[in-house]
Amino acid sequence: MNEYDSARLAAILELNGASPAFKPEKADIILVNTCSVRAKAEESAIARIWDLKKLKTENKGLKIGVLGCMAKNRGESLLKDLPFLDFILPPDEYQKLPEILFQKTEPAPQTPFAKLTNKYSAFIAIQSGCNMRCAYCIVPYVRGREQYREPSSILKEIESATVAGVSEIVLLGQTVNGYRYKGLSFAELLKQVASIKGVERIRFVSPHPIHYTSELLALLMSEKKIAPHVHLPAQSGSNSVLKKMKRQYTREAYLSIAEALRSFNPLYGITTDIICGYPGETEEEFKETLSLLQEARFDGAFMFAYSPREGTPSASEKELITEEEKKSRLQRVIDLQHSITLERAKLMLGRQERILLEKLSRRNSSEWIGKTGNFKKVIIPAQPSFKEGMYVDCVIEGLKGHTLQARTSTFNFGCTI
Ligand code: SAH
Ligand code: SF4
């Protein structure tokens, strides 16, 4: 979501005549886009902002602004803590940027809703805000009530992205599959996206388990353009913890979605988010998270120690787990998940896969990096014809760590879309 916002901000700057500086030392404007979801994200942003202070002595005209959720969460107090900042701007006030930076008082020109993140793939936000109020989460406070974007504007944006060469579309929202607009469901929107010429792969982040309707599941199993991968945050494997978190689903309901997807395609990629050490989480409840990992056989996971966020209901819970215990539980889920990730990767060996080439490897310029439909990273020896955004048929023949190694198929009809 933040990458998407940064791209939008870059588009606003460029529309006002600015161009990328590539190095902070060369910049006249530095905008730091921040995240508040965990304390660590805010702390590392603050450390990065302090690092920028010295650039002001070299370039007196340099303007530094802090944007994103931390600007909303900490507000004016940021200006006191970081007195060298020129301004802060929360996400709901980005339209003021031209006035602040370029003294433009006339209404901002129509900005493209999304700037492409690269040549072949585009993030398209279809929902802003969130109405869920999970007990630990700051997002609803900093991003506001949920709003869904009008389908015609979404489809128009995707059409122009495909004309510019994009073939992979990633729909974004905090509960993206809860999308609805005047009777149009998320599944119906997906169908319309899939019918656009030039769209080859569709992904969406983050869906919420309560919005897996039978209509959506049926579409995921029949529409070939929808990639066989989902990032479906589970947070915990314990029903009592899920209840305290106010997640509104049970472990069984979560697992039934995973089971439906895997019985349709055993290699369906399922990744998740896990929080360890939620207030009051007992060893038994934590073990239920470990057993969820075993049962769901996730292809990968983002795993976090619980971080209390001021103002959220769970921040006032008394039964806190010590930092040491949280760290130890986090390490236990990481260790278990790593072994499962490896096992899931091994299932790919010997398979014929169509990968989307993303970029030349930074470590080794004779190799390219690509992604399978089920969202696994693949390394493949470079060929002169390879280009960003090209689909290449390959055979998975090895593993380096968790990363798949491939060779091009002899009957390769790779093409640029
Ligand atoms: N809307 C998404 C999640 C967005 S936040 C969803 O509901 O699935 C991204 C992830 O950050 C969450 O899935 C959760 O695992 C983690 N997270 C959010 N708040 C947190 C907190 N207070 N402490 C630790 N992790 C947190
Ligand atoms: Fe936060 Fe996601 Fe829950 Fe919304 S659905 S409150 S973004 S964790």
Assign domain 2-102 to a CATH class.
alpha beta
Residue 416 pLDDT:
45
Q: Is the CB of 37 under 6 A from ligand 1?
A: yes
**If you take atom 3 of ligand 2, which residue's CA is the nearest one?**
134
Cβ of 227 below 6 Å from ligand 1: no
Average pLDDT, the chain: 93
Structural contact between residues 289 and 235, judged by C-beta atoms closer than 8 angstroms: no
**Beta carbons within 10 angstroms of residue 147's beta carbon:** 12
Cβ of residue 140 lying under 6 Å from some atom of ligand 2: yes
110 has pLDDT over 70 = no
Please state which of the ranges 103-117, 206-220, 277-291, 399-413 shows the lowest mean pLDDT: 103-117
The preferred substitution site among 43, 172, 231, 275 for testing ligand 1, maximizing ligand atoms within 8 Å of CB, is 275
What is the chain's percent helix, strand, coil content, to nearest 5? 40, 25, 40
Q: Ligand 2, residue 131: give the atom nearest the CA.
A: 4
Q: pLDDT (tens digit, 9 = 90+) per residue, 162-215?
A: 998 999 999 999 999 999 999 999 999 999 999 999 999 999 999 999 999 999
Reply yes or no on whether the pLDDT at 417 is more than 50: no
What pLDDT sits at residue 3? 87
Give the number of whichever ligand sits closest to the CA of residue 246: 2
CB of residue 208 inside a 6 A radius of ligand 2: yes
Bridge-based pairing of strands 352-360 and 300-305 is unpaired
| Closest-CA residue to 29 (of 10, 46, 48, 45) | 10
Q: What is the dotted CATH code of the domain comprising 121-346?
A: 3.80.30.20
Q: For residues 198 and 166, is the Cβ–Cβ distance under 8 A?
A: yes
Phi, psi of 314 (to 5 degrees): -75, -15
Distance CA 294, CA 291 (A): 5
Asked if the domains 2-102 and 352-416 are classified in one and the same CATH topology, the answer is no
d(CA 14, CA 17): 5
pLDDT score at 386: 95
Q: How far, in Å, is the centroid of ligand 1 from the Cα of 208?
A: 12
Q: What is the pLDDT of residues 129-167, one digit of tens each?
A: 999 999 999 999 999 999 999 999 999 999 999 998 999
Nearest to 403 by CA among 205, 265, 367, 411: 367
Write the pLDDT tens digit of every residue in 74-96. Answer: 999 999 999 999 999 999 999 89
- Annotate 312-376 with three-state secondary structure: CHHHHCCCCCCHHHHHHHHHHHHHHHHHHHHHHHHCCCCCEEEEEEEEECCCCCCEEEEECCCCC
Query: Domain coordinates of the chain in residue numbers?
Result: 2-102, 121-346, 352-416
| Biggest distance spanned by C-alpha atoms of the chain | 63
Q: Spell out the residues 6+ positions from residue 156 whose beta carbon is closer than 8 angstroms to its own.
A: none
Strands (E) in 158-262, as ranges, are 168-172, 180-181, 184-185, 201-205, 229-231
Per-residue pLDDT at 111: 52
User: Does 188 sit in the ligand 1 pocket, CB within 6 Å?
Assistant: no
CB of 1 shorter than 6 A to ligand 2:
no
pLDDT tens column, 298-318: 999 999 999 999 999 999 999
Burial environment of residue 405 by CB neighbours within 10 A (0 to 12, 13 to 18, 19 or more): middle
Name, in order, each residue with C-beta under 8 angstroms of 164's C-beta and a sequence gap of 6 or more: 116
Q: In the CATH hierarchy, which fold is given to the domain comprising 352-416?
A: OB fold (Dihydrolipoamide Acetyltransferase, E2P) (2.40.50)
Q: Which atom of ligand 2 is nearest to the CA of 143?
A: 7
Ligand 1 pocket residue status of 208, Cβ below 6 Å: yes
d(CA 161, CA 163): 5
Angle at 312 between CA 275 and CA 287, to 5 degrees: 25
Look at ligand 1, atom 8, and give the residue with the nearest C-alpha: 233
Going by pLDDT thresholds of 50, 70 and 90, the confidence category of residue 7 is confident
Please say if the pLDDT value at position 60 is more than 80.
yes
Residues 375-385: what's their mean pLDDT?
96
3-state secondary structure of 120: coil
Is the C-alpha dihedral spanning 362, 364, 366, 371 positive or negative? negative
Which of 128, 137, 307 should be mutated for ligand 2, with most atoms under 8 A from CB? 137
pLDDT at residue 360, rounded to an integer = 94
Q: How far is CA 104 from the centre of its chain?
A: 33
pLDDT on residue 236: 98
Q: What is the 3-state secondary structure (H, E, C) of 242-283?
A: HHHHCCCCCHHHHHHHHHHHHHHCCCCEEEEEEEECCCCCCH
- Rounded distance, CA 300 to CA 344, Å? 9
What SS3 class is residue 99? helix
Hey, is 76 helix, strand or coil?
Answer: coil
State whether the beta carbon of 138 lies less than 6 angstroms from ligand 2.
no
Flag whether the pTM goes above 0.75.
Answer: yes
Whether 114 shows a pLDDT value over 80: the answer reads: no
pLDDT, tens digit (0-9, with 9 covering 90-100), for 33-44: 999 999 999 999
Rounded mean pLDDT of 341-356? Answer: 97
Asked if 409 contacts 395 with a C-beta cutoff of 8 angstroms, the reply is: yes
Q: Which of 279, 24, 27 is nearest to 135 (CA)?
A: 279
Q: Six-digit token pair at 194? A: 């899939």
Instruction: Please report the pLDDT score of residue 67 as a whole number.
Output: 97
